[in-house]
């Protein structure tokens, strides 16, 4: 499993448009597509810190995942444990956000 403190905005930018597998406890797995990677401010100015950023995923309208820590996996970044927050539907599915400070 990748360590969250080492993941950067560049790691996720290379995954735009890719599918991530999510397997919530006691539920069937589903796929989320990474649709946006967004910087949340200036580049990191202190050595050893990273630039804050957020990632936006789109999944099916049903089932809706509740806000929680979820294990996700992708062939590019590997397995991660992310705090995903459902932020509502768009015209194509349910959107989920994860923020990295």
Determine which of 31-35, 50-54, 94-98 has the lowest per-residue pLDDT on average. 50-54
Beta carbons of 60 and 94 less than 8 angstroms apart: yes
Q: Is the pLDDT of residue 6 over 70?
A: yes
Domain ranges of the chain: 4-100
Beta carbons of 53 and 85 less than 8 angstroms apart: no
Q: Is the pLDDT of residue 84 over 60?
A: yes
Q: What pLDDT does 46 receive?
A: 58
Q: What pLDDT does 2 receive?
A: 61
- pLDDT of 17-47, one tens digit each? 999 999 877 667 899 999 999 999 766 555 5
For residue 32, the cross-strand partners are 20
Beta carbons of 50 and 44 less than 8 angstroms apart: yes
pLDDT higher for 62 or 41? 62
Q: What pLDDT does 23 receive?
A: 82
**Rounded-to-integer distance, Cα 36 and Cα 96, Å:** 11
Q: Is the pLDDT of residue 67 over 80?
A: yes
């Amino acid at each position: 499993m990748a360590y969250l403190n080492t993941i950067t905005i560049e790691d996720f930018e290379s995954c735009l448009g890719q599918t991530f597998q999510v397997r919530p406890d006691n539920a069937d797995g589903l796929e989320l597509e990474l649709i946006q990677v967004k910087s949340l401010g200036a580049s990191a100015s202190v050595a050893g810190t990273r630039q804050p950023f957020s990632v936006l995923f789109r999944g099916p309208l049903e089932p809706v995942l509740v806000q929680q820590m979820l294990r996700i996996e992708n062939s590019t970044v590997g397995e991660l444990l992310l705090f995903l927050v459902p932020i509502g539907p768009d015209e194509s599915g349910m959107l989920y956000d994860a923020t990295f400070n």
